[in-house]
């Protein structure tokens, strides 16, 4: 298994993985999310791959904070350390850009993710996140 930057032939497998990992929502078009990520910070979109893509981490840096999205591991490969490795790679790439802090959002109800992030040094911030859609997908 290697960690490498997303490449266009990965697209179909990545979207299938996001569906399988339960990360897709009707209001986010995963193909458009990939287009936007690859046109802004292509090197911050990391995949874990053996013969097939088995995990993803899509990060971005806004000049103040780094953000990680779409951290996902193929359901049959969870618990092998792939998620930890992907997050560490995203952190390392953000750090290399001078990013001082990394953030991420966890959907309500995804309690499993709390244990995962908590064990990797992440703590819950005392903030509510507000969002407003600018472009409907």
Ligand X SMILES: CC(C)(COP(=O)(O)OP(=O)(O)OC[C@H]1O[C@@H](n2cnc3c(N)ncnc32)[C@H](O)[C@@H]1OP(=O)(O)O)[C@@H](O)C(=O)NCCC(=O)NCCS
The footprint of ligand X on residues 8-47 (CB under 6 A) is 21-23
In the block, which residue shows the tokens 């779409």? Answer: 70
Rounded CA-CA distance 113/132 in Å is: 24
Least gap, CB of 77 to ligand X (angstroms): 7
Beta-bridge partners for 53? 49
Q: Could you say whether residue 60 binds ligand X (CB under 6 A)?
A: no
> Where in 17-97 does DSSP place strands (E)?
45-49, 53-61, 66-73
Here's the x/- map for ligand X, 92-121, by CB under 6 A: it reads as: ------------x-x---x-xx-xx--x--
Contact footprint for ligand X (CB under 6 A) = 21-23, 71-73, 78-84, 104, 106, 110, 112-113, 115-116, 119
């Amino acid at each position: 298994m290697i960690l490498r930057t997303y490449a266009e032939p990965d697209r179909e497998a990545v979207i299938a993985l996001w569906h399988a990992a339960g990360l897709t929502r009707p209001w986010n078009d995963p193909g458009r999310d990939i287009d936007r990520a690859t046109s802004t910070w292509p090197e911050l979109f990391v995949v874990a791959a053996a013969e097939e893509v088995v995990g993803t981490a899509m990060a971005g840096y806004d000049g103040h904070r780094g953000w990680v999205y779409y951290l996902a591991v193929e359901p049959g490969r969870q618990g092998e350390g792939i998620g930890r490795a992907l997050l560490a790679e995203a952190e390392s790439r953000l750090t290399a850009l001078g990013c001082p802090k990394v953030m991420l959002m966890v959907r309500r109800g995804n309690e499993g993710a709390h244990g995962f992030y908590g064990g990797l040094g992440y703590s819950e911030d005392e903030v509510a996140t507000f969002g407003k859609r600018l472009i409907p997908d």
